[in-house]
Structure 1
Amino acid sequence: MFALVHKNKKTITFVAGFLLILALVLHLTGYTDMRQTVLIFATVIAGIPIAIKSFQALKMKAFSIEMLVTIAVIGALVIGEYVESAVVTFLFLFGDYLEVHTLEKTRSSLKKLVDMAPQEATVIREGIEATVPVEEVIEGDQVIIRTGGKVPVDGKIISGHASLNEAAITGESIPASKKQGDKVFSSAVIDSGYIEIIAEKVGDDTTFAKIIELVEEAQESKSKTEKFLNKFANVYTPAVVVLSIVVYVLTRDFHLAITFLVIACPGALIIGAPVSSVAGIGNGAKNGVLIKGGEVMDRFSKVDTVVFDKTGTLTKGKPEVTAIKVFDLYKEQELLRLVAQVEMVSEHHLGKTIVKEAELQKIALNRQPQAVRVIKGNGLAAIVDERQIVIGNRKLMNAEKINISKEIEAYAVKREKAGNTAVFAAVDGAVAGIFSIADQIREDAVPALAQMRSNGIQKMVMLTGDNQHTAELVAIALGLDEFHAELLPEDKVAFVKQLKQQGHVVAMAGDGVNDAPAIATADIGLAMGEGGTDISMETADVVLMADKLMQFSHAYSLSKATIRNMKQNTFFAVGIVAVLLGGVLMGSIHLASGMFIHEASVLIVILNAMRLLGFNRQNMKTQKPLEPVNAEI
């Protein structure tokens, strides 16, 4: 019965509306008795869904708005106010319909995401090309995607070249060029080209599936305002019932007490905050920013200090070997081979850069290093070809008691002052060479940071494991307030804790892998999604899927706009209830007119929240292009 009524609520609403029109026609034509019957019938039809919802809430020991309306409608029927009872039930149902319809629009970004999910995949199995449902693709499958097709799973390109639209993942509509060796994500669309990939993540493990899951969870997560209003409603509703009884006792006017009961319904107050939160989170998802819920949005809006990792956050995170200097009898390629053999086991950006350089020079790397030791934050050591190889920074060289001569130190400092990271490579206890590795500052870093300052960020700090000289170059170029270099992950955590103890509300932005501890420690952890998607999604409160700092600026502006919108809705709702109750007690507002104003206020707060769906940061004024600055990862 309950399910049937709920399923047909829309039909019931429009039937009640038709009956009201019929009652008006009967009134104008003089059929008074028949009009009364139609009004009672309309009241009963429209009142059933309201009464059922009230009963369900009561079973869960909750005092709902529906309970107030049900009591008021029964009272109106008892005193013979059939017009008001019919109008009130219809308006309440119609208002509920508008709420549901409008809320569906605020969730449109999530629906669009779900609609983007690929349904089929073309795979090669046993040499035969076949089209299968995307659920049947397994890890290791060879998948073909042609022009106009959607990438069905996460994977790595093994053949071909294509231009891909990754807007569903990153929020960026500009196509990205992808070639052999590049990673692609589920739901990306091939604008032109042809690729074959090996499936690495399928089904619910794909990045796109995780995005949908996170957005769904975020839209269900409540802000502090929403939690307070829910608790408030449970106290407010019974209080209104008691006050309406007091009104009746004082005035002996049953009609006035019933009117007071209905008009006091806090509908706009209860719906205002959730709809703002859902709309704000939906806007973020549409723009490639995952904000994990209303409470995160609330905390983010209060951030006054941002701490940045350097590599992969302020810089592009795509370093290159700019020079290899040898100091011993080794030739450059021989030293590169030895070091790259060791770095093959490393997950660090620097190590991968050296391996990539060896591959570019077509150096064979076919021997696994022995006795590998990873020294966190400093480097690593291993045995290759029966030689002891140590690779890392000065701290590691000193720890391993490897002497750095004045000549070697002078060269290293020179390279660092030029914006490089100097990676020391020692063979059998002596420094054999230095690898210079450089990165570049992101093109959008300057305007994004300027925009964040204009929106309320008071302090910007950079923490990095890189050397002092390179860190200083980046900090000066970006106009940061502070920078601290040569830090280990635990040092970054300690610094974030110190800022919090000083009273700052801190956001920590990093790549989500090496910076995971500091990200977790901050009030708001923010991760650049592309650099380590799985870990960043789990650790951070906010994930930027396109790895763009302008997305950070948008997310911060959006959080402030969303909380501001919540407050507007709350103040408006409280004001409307106060005005209506005052009007009821003064006799200028009656049951039907009051209910109409009440439902109109609900619609107004929803429409106000929907403005967030189109929210976008204001375009910055044209700025002088940023000069390329090299900086190590």
Structure 2
Amino acid sequence: MKYVIRHESVNRIRIHCAITRMSMSTADVIEYYLADKEFVVSVKVYERTGDATIRYKSGKRQELLQCLEELDVEDEKVIALVPENTGRELNRYYQERLMSMVGYRVLKKLFMPAPIRVAVTCLRSIKYIFQGLSTLLHGKIEVPLLDAVAISASILRGDYSTASSVMFLLGAGELLEEWTHQKSVNDLAKSMALKVDKVWLHTELNDVLVDIRDIQKGDKIVIRTSSIIPLDGKVVAGEVQVNQSSMTGESLPVSKEIGDFVYAGTVVEDGECVVEVAKTSGTGKYDQIIHMIEDSEKLKSGTEEKAFHLADRLVPYSLIGTGLTWLLTRNVSKAISFLMVDFSCALKLSMPLTVLSAIREAGEYNITAKGGKYLEAIAKADTIVFDKTGTLTKATPTFAQITTFNGIDETEALRIAACLEEHYPHSMANAVVKEAEDRGIMHEEMHSKVKYIIAHGIESEVDGKSAIIGSYHYIFEDAGCELSEEEARIIKNLPQEYSHLFMAIDGKLKAVIDIYDPIRKESKDIIQKLHEMGFTSVCMLTGDNKKTAKSVVSKLNIDHYHAEVLPEDKAMYIRKLKEQGHTVVMVGDGVNDTPALSEADCGIAVSDGAAIAREVADVIIGDDNLYRLLTIRQISQSMMERIRHNYHFIVGFNSLLIGLGVAGVLTPSASALFHNTSTVYAGIHSMCDLLPEKEEENDEMA
């Protein structure tokens, strides 16, 4: 692609793309192509001007320029990077509607003759009067009735300018509220989009791990227990139980057999199947996700809902105040002052904008929040629960050593272990696979169907013999494998700071793999700061052994911990905390954390975790930086503080206007003007950043 550099500063460049009349789709292609590069920090493409602003990592200027030169906006692989719905068209649509509304009003006041303006105002008022009457006929006294009375009273007094101003502001408020809602839904739908990079391609010879972007329509992919279905398709082999709650809202898993259709984003709870791909990456059931979100209450926080209901509850008092003022003063202007000021416009505009602003700002820190109520939960939470492996400890545990038994050598033991573990990648499994790769050990498919048992291990067959790998509990207690006194002595003397994976074949122990899982260097500092930010209890839950867990806790300021717990135990622990009146945040990354993530008031998944954990979580940290926990806590608390500030300002200022109007200090037109101005101020204030500046020091420390 040809381009011209318009401006440069440290690690930031602004270019102009040499493209005649850049379309929105082309702008999306350029933006997502650059965002896909690991050295690009952020990118924004402006289709109206054809410009792009790019922030990149230090020392990567040449790589960036080379990528720009190599970019072909018509390359199918590049186009495939663009999600099904980017939101660019949505924003353009509402921007143009708002500009048209403002432009029409200005032109009407400047050039439209007064009699025609009066006629237009009367015609436009019919909509609001009808809404008010409809509310009354349904036995309700709510904001639409107050709006209708205010507009009608102004028209009856011949004050058409005030009536027009009120309707303009109501229309602008409705448009901004609709825009806010649609953008929130769109952002949430994108946050729920799958982040699956690799899939198992099924061939005649064996299963091959490939990039999802290389999958074509008609290819066959293998989906196993606890895996997210990455692409829409039809089951051609096997039978599975699929959790479709993310798509249809169904709470119970649905059986899928040969010939049944499965959808991207749903999760296989049990079984294994081969799916023939019907739609490639980027063409999934986006519309169904949108519909599911719109039918939910995810977007609104409890405080936001209370503010909305309060606006409606104040309407009868406004009408009573209007009537009393007229009875006591017989002054129509003073009475109408009550009607010119209501609390609805500002509350209904500022509250969703504040929530949207918080979600947007979190996104700038690579944090995806799936709704306002989860941010409210983080702000209120007094208890935070951590998983250990991959969360408080290093995201990429490393292989330490392997001890073999019963005549097997290290190479063969690692070959079998890696062959089994690569099908269900988690932090410890990745360490095994990486060690095999580093040693140059080839581990092509050499086993039969693999079965994953959550929080326990994996079982399969190798050369006709039963092969299992997993925890001590799974191998020796559940599976009943043999363990001699000598083997027990060797195991007892293994370093306790390591986590252990046990592998047995035909009921006999073959190897113990020690995994070194170092504590993240920032974990201690983060836990200390979480205490300082109002968390009264920091807990750790782990399926690892008690000695390993105690070793971690001794180095961190953790209040409570439990070791050797199963997934259902984690969920039960959080349920008990909630029953005791605590608001709980759960932080995890693995398949075994998903029940706890679902049970918590807010579940937070970290970037390198299992796909199913990201699917279930309410908030996703998109990079390997636990300092983002502090950031999202700050954003959430600032959001709640702004909501409270907006509420007090709106109620206080508008009450003052009502008082001044009743006292005769302000005319109805002046009251409407000040009311409208305060509404615009509240809206603009709600869209400002919640945090004063980027937390660069945390980025560097992570």
TM-score, scaled to structure 2:
0.64
User: Matches of residues 382-461 of structure 1 in structure 2 within 5 Å?
Assistant: 382-399=460-477, 400-402=479-481, 404=483, 408-409=487-488, 411-413=490-492, 415-417=494-496, 419-461=497-539
Range with greater deviation from structure 2 (375-384 or 516-525)? 375-384
Q: From 430, 436, 441, give the equivalent of 1:362.
A: 441
- Is residue 134 of structure 2 the alignment partner of residue 52 of structure 1? no
Determine if the alignment matches structure 1 residue 569 to structure 2 residue 651.
Answer: no
Whether 2:353 is the aligned partner of 1:275: answer yes
Say which one has the larger Rg. 1
Larger relative contact order (CA 8 Å, sep ≥ 6): 1
Q: Find the counterpart in structure 1 of residue 560 from structure 2.
A: 482
Residue 307 (structure 2) pairs with residue 229 (structure 1): yes
1:93 aligns with 2:168: yes
**More deviation in 562-571 or 226-235?**
226-235
Q: Which residue, 638, 644, 663 being the options, matches 1:586? A: 663
Please say which of residues 348-357 and 331-340 is displaced more in the overlay. 348-357
Q: Does 1:600 align with 2:677?
A: yes
Q: 1:214 to 1:451 in 2, by over 3 A?
A: farther
In structure 1, what is the equivalent of residue 105 of structure 2? Answer: 13
Deviation at 1:308, TM superposition (A): 0.9
User: Contact (CA 8 Å) 1:306, 1:506: kept in 2 or not?
Assistant: yes
How far off is 1:396 after superposition? 3.0
2:78 is matched with none
User: Offset of 1:506 from its aligned partner?
Assistant: 0.7
Q: In the alignment, which of 610, 613, 616 is matched to residue 539 of structure 1?
A: 616
Q: Distance in 2 between matches of 1:425 and 1:326?
A: 9
The alignment-based identity, stated in percent, is 26
Per the TM alignment, residue 7 of structure 1 is displaced from its structure 2 partner at its CA by: 9.9
After TM superposition, give the deviation of residue 614 of structure 1 in Å. 5.7
Residue deviations 1:375-422 (CA, integer Å, cap 9, x gap): 5433344442344444333323432444545654555455443x3212
What secondary structure does 2:604 align onto? strand
Cα distance, 1:414–1:579 mapped onto 2, change above 3 Å = farther
Check the 8 A contact 1:465/1:487 in 2, yes or no: yes
Pairwise CA RMSD of aligned residues? Answer: 4.4
Q: Quick one: distance in 2 between partners of 1:615 and 1:302?
A: 21
Please state which structure has a larger fraction of its residues in helix. Answer: 1
- Structure 1 residue 578, shift from structure 2 partner: 1.7
AA paired with 2:412? E
SS in 1 for 2:540: strand
Evaluate the alpha carbon distance shift between residue 536 and residue 429 of structure 1 in structure 2; reply closer, same or farther with a 3 A threshold.
closer
Once the two structures are superposed, what CA deviation does each residue of 1:414-469 show, in whole Å capped at 9, x if it has no partner?
Answer: 5443x321222334444333211123334543443333322211211111111223
C-alpha deviation, 1:43, in angstroms:
4.7
Cα distance change on mapping 1:621 and 1:503 into 2, 3 Å: same
1:179 equivalent in structure 2? none
Distance in 2 of aligned mates of 1:279 and 1:100: 17
1:75 and 2:150 correspond: no
> Which residue, 595, 603, 607 being the options, matches 1:517?
595
Deviation, structure 1 residue 114: 11
Unpaired runs of at least 5, structure 1? 23-36, 118-133, 142-152, 155-197, 627-633
Contact 1:9 1:49 in 2 (8 A): no
- Tell me, in whole angstroms, the C-alpha distance in 1 between the residues paired with 2:99 and 2:697: 49
Q: Which amino acid letter does the alignment assign opposite residue 86 of structure 1?
A: S
**Distance across 1 between alignment mates of 2:294 and 2:614:** 14
Displacement of 1:517 in angstroms is 0.8
Compared CA separation, residues 435 and 210, structure 1 to 2 (3 A): farther
Aligned residue in 1 for 2:606: 528
Give the conservation status (yes or no) of the 8 Å contact 1:16–1:90.
no
The Cα of 1:571 is off from its aligned counterpart by 0.7
Aligned 8 A contact 2:455 2:592 in 1: no
Q: Which 5+ residue runs of structure 2 have no aligned equivalent? A: 1-96, 194-212, 221-229, 232-276
- SS of the residue corresponding to residue 627 of structure 2 reads helix
Q: Who is 2:56 aligned against?
A: none
How far apart are the structure 2 equivalents of 1:85 and 1:138?
62
Q: Deviations over 1:104-145 (max 9, x none)?
A: 69998999999999xxxxxxxxxxxxxxxx9x975769xxxx
In structure 2, the CA distance between the partners of 1:494 and 1:98, relative to structure 1 (3 Å rule), is closer
Aligned residue pairs: how many? 529
Counterparts of 1:111 and 1:584, CA distance in 2:
42
